[in-house]
C-alpha cells in the first residue's frame, strides 16, 4: 500500500498499542505496520513512509511515556490528531506446561512493572524481572525460551503460542493507558466542544517564579491544565522543557490567547495539536473566559480607542 494508507505503531503484533489502534474505525482501510520502537514509528511519519503513527503517551499508574514525550518535543514537528484510552489489565503468559511454581524469570515492558509490582511480590517473590522492548516482545522472548513468563495482554497468547496462567492482573483498579495518533502538521480539525490541546514550552531563563509566570498564562484565562510534565532537554543539569495538555481547542479564544502568551513569555513553544478528548468530557468555562466575553472585551477596547468607551 502507498504511505497514505499506512499506519505505524509500537510493535510487535500483540501489544496493547495494537489493541488500542484497532478501536479506531479508519484502521479497517489501513495497512498497520508494527515498528520496533516509538522513535521508529514516528520517524516513518516524518520520512513520508506512513500517514500516521500510533504510540502510547501516558499511563495512569506510571505517568508519561518518556520516549513519546521526548520524540514529540524534538526532531521535525509532528501533530496529535486523535487519542484513545484503553483499560489495562495484564495476563501472565507462559509456554504450555509451565506452572506458577516453576517461574524463575519474568519480563515485560518497563511501564508494566509498576502496574504489577505488588502482585509479583505476593505471587512470584523470587522471580527475576528483566525488561523487554514491549509487552508483546516479552511474549515473543518467552516463546523463544529466554524467559519463563511475560506480562502482556491476554490477547497476545495465541499469537505467540503461549497460555495465560493468570489473567486480570493489576495493582491499581481502573488502570488505563492513553495513546495518540500522530501525523505531520496540518490545520487542526474543527472544535467539537470536548477537546484537548497539547504544547511543549521552554522557559526563556531560570529565575525565581519563572514557571509560575508561565502557568499564570493558563490560570488568568481560566484554562485548565490536565497534565504537566518536565523533561530534560539534554543541554545540561537543570535544563528542562515542559509538556502540557490543557482543556479546549486552539480556536477557543481563551486557548489561543494562552498560546500567544506562551509565545511571548517562553524561549520556544511547540504546538502539538488540538483534538477530541477520548473521555468525552467538556471543557469548563469560568466566568469571563467564553469566546463571547473575549469578543465583548475586544469591542469595549475598540470603543475606548475611538473615544466611545
Kindly give the confidence (pLDDT) of every residue in the chain, 309 residues in length, as a single tens digit, with 9 standing for 90 and above: 457 789 999 988 889 999 999 999 999 899 999 998 999 999 999 999 999 999 999 998 888 999 999 999 999 999 999 999 999 999 999 999 999 999 999 999 888 888 999 999 999 999 999 999 889 999 999 999 999 999 999 999 999 999 999 999 998 888 899 999 999 999 999 999 999 999 999 999 888 899 999 999 999 999 999 999 999 988 888 889 999 999 999 999 999 999 999 999 999 999 999 999 999 888 777 888 888 888 888 888 888 898 876
DSSP string, 96-110: TT--GGG--EEEE-T
Q: Are residues 197 and 284 in the same domain?
A: yes
Domain-ending residue, one of 122, 143, 169: 169
Q: What per-residue confidence (pLDDT) applies to 54? A: 97
Q: Are residues 270 and 198 in the same domain?
A: yes
Q: How far apart are CA 58 and CA 196, in angstroms?
A: 14
Domain-ending residue, one of 186, 212, 227: 186
Q: Are residues 24 and 122 in the same domain?
A: no
For residue range 116-155, list pLDDT tens digits in order.
Answer: 999 999 999 999 999 998 899 999 999 999 999 999 999 9
Q: How far apart are CA 67 and CA 131, in angstroms?
A: 15
Helix residue spans in the chain (DSSP H): 16-21, 38-46, 66-73, 113-123, 135-143, 156-159, 210-219, 253-265, 291-305
Question: Residue 94 belongs to a domain with what CATH number?
Answer: 3.40.190.10
Q: Are residues 73 and 115 in the same domain?
A: no
Domain limits at 57? 1-87+176-186
Domain-ending residue, one of 109, 137, 169: 169
Mean residue pLDDT across the chain: 92
> Cβ neighbours of residue 107 under 8 Å, at least 6 residues apart?
129, 130, 131, 132, 138, 141, 142, 146, 147, 149, 150, 151
Q: How far is residue 300 CA from its own chain's centroid? A: 41
Q: How far apart are CA 126 and CA 104, in angstroms?
A: 7
Tell me how crowded residue 287 is: count the other CB atoms within 10 A of its CB.
7
Q: How far apart are CA 41 and CA 78, in angstroms?
A: 12
Residues 181, 8: contact at Cβ < 8 Å? no
Sign of CA dihedral 252, 258, 261, 267: negative
Tell me how crowded residue 72 is: count the other CB atoms within 10 A of its CB.
25
Q: How far apart are CA 28 and CA 35, in angstroms?
A: 19
CA distances from 282 to 196, 218, 226 (A): 10, 17, 12
Q: Are residues 204 and 293 in the same domain?
A: yes
Q: How far apart are CA 271 and CA 127, in angstroms?
A: 44
For residue range 243-286, list pLDDT tens digits in order.
Answer: 999 999 999 999 999 999 999 999 999 999 999 999 988 877 78
Q: 271: which 3 cell numbers? A: 504546538
Q: Are residues 107 and 147 in the same domain?
A: yes
Q: Are residues 13 and 42 in the same domain?
A: yes
Q: Are residues 153 and 182 in the same domain?
A: no
Q: Are residues 308 and 207 in the same domain?
A: yes
Q: How far apart are CA 175 and CA 115, in angstroms?
A: 8
Question: Residue 301 belongs to a domain with what CATH number?
Answer: 3.30.70.260
Q: Are residues 182 and 192 in the same domain?
A: no
Q: Are residues 98 and 213 in the same domain?
A: no
DSSP string, 124-166: -TTPEEEE-SSHHHHHHHHHTTSSSEEEE-TTHHHHTT-EEEE
Looking at the 3D structure of the chain, how many domains does it have? 3
Q: Are residues 215 and 260 in the same domain?
A: yes
Residues 139, 121: contact at Cβ < 8 Å? no
- The CA dihedral of 42, 62, 85, 243, to the nearest 10 degrees, is -60
Q: How far apart are CA 284 and CA 104, in angstroms?
A: 51
Amino acid at each position: 500500500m502507498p504511505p497514505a494508507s499506512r499506519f505505524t505503531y509500537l510493535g510487535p503484533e500483540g501489544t496493547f498499542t495494537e489493541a488500542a489502534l484497532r478501536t479506531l474505525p479508519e484502521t479497517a482501510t489501513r495497512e498497520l505496520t508494527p515498528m520496533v520502537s516509538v522513535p521508529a514509528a514516528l520517524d516513518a511519519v516524518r520520512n513520508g513512509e506512513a500517514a500516521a503513527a500510533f504510540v502510547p503517551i501516558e499511563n495512569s499508574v506510571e505517568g508519561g511515556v518518556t520516549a513519546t514525550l521526548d520524540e514529540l518535543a524534538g526532531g521535525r514537528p509532528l501533530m496529535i490528531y486523535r487519542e484513545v484510552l484503553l483499560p489495562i489489565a495484564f495476563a501472565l503468559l507462559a509456554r504450555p506446561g509451565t506452572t506458577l511454581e516453576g517461574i524463575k524469570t519474568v519480563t515485560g515492558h518497563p511501564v508494566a512493572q509498576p502496574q504489577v509490582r505488588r502482585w509479583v511480590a505476593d505471587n512470584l517473590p523470587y522471580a527475576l524481572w528483566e525488561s523487554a522492548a514491549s509487552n508483546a516482545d516479552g511474549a515473543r522472548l518467552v516463546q523463544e525460551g529466554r524467559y519463563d513468563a511475560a506480562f502482556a495482554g491476554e490477547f497476545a497468547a495465541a499469537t505467540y503460542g503461549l497460555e495465560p496462567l493468570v489473567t486480570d492482573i493489576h495493582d491499581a483498579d481502573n488502570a488505563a493507558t492513553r495513546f495518540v495518533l500522530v501525523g505531520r502538521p496540518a490545520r487542526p480539525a474543527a472544535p467539537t466542544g470536548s477537546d484537548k490541546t497539547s504544547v511543549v514550552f521552554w522557559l526563556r531563563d531560570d529565575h525565581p517564579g519563572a514557571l509560575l509566570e508561565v502557568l499564570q498564562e493558563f490560570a488568568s484565562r481560566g484554562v485548565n491544565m490536565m497534565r504537566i510534565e518536565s523533561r530534560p532537554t539534554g543541554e545540561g543539569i537543570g535544563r528542562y522543557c515542559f509538556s502540557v495538555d490543557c482543556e479546549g481547542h486552539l480556536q477557543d479564544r481563551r486557548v489561543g490567547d494562552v498560546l500567544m502568551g506562551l509565545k511571548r513569555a517562553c524561549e520556544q513553544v511547540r504546538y502539538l495539536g488540538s483534538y477530541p478528548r477520548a473521555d468525552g468530557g467538556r471543557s469548563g468555562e469560568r466566568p469571563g473566559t467564553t469566546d463571547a466575553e473575549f469578543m465583548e472585551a475586544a469591542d469595549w477596547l475598540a470603543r475606548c480607542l475611538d473615544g466611545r468607551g
